[in-house]
Amino acid sequence: MKAITFTIDLKSFLLGVLTVCGLLILVNFTPVAQPNTQSQPDQHPQRYQAIAGKDTRTIIMDTQTGRFLVERPTIGLPTWAPMDFEELYRKR
């Protein structure tokens, strides 16, 4: 009776190893959950708006809280005054 011999060349062996590794990676792949921008209001892309008026004052407004900063005209660096729409409405 003849002995059964099994031979494989290096190219076929490496191709088999790469195929098995690729299949293992695909089987174990789990997609990363995308962050929900609705539940995280700080990441809302249009939360802050800048408004420039005729008198060269700039207003930076937070559209979710109603708070805003008004630039006060000064010589040198600008100074900012924080304000709130609700407080201004109560004063009137």
Query: pLDDT tens, position by position, for the chain (92 residues)?
Result: 788 888 889 999 999 999 999 999 999 888 777 666 555 555 556 788 887 876 667 778 887 787 888 777 677 776 777 777 777 667 65
Compute the distance between CA of residue 92 and CA of residue 52 in angstroms, rounded to an integer: 24
The alpha-helical segments, DSSP class H, found in the chain are 10-27, 85-91
In a domain, 15, yes or no: no
Domain that holds residue 77: 41-91
Instruction: Report the pLDDT value the prediction gives residue 45, as an integer from 0 to 100.
Output: 67
In a domain, 85, yes or no: yes
Compute the distance between CA of residue 70 and CA of residue 72 in angstroms, rounded to an integer: 6
Gyration radius of the chain's alpha carbons:
32
In a domain, 7, yes or no: no
In a domain, 45, yes or no: yes
β-bridge pairing 79-84 and 67-72: antiparallel
pTM of this structure: 0.39
In a domain, 70, yes or no: yes
What is the tally of structural domains in the chain? 1
In a domain, 66, yes or no: yes
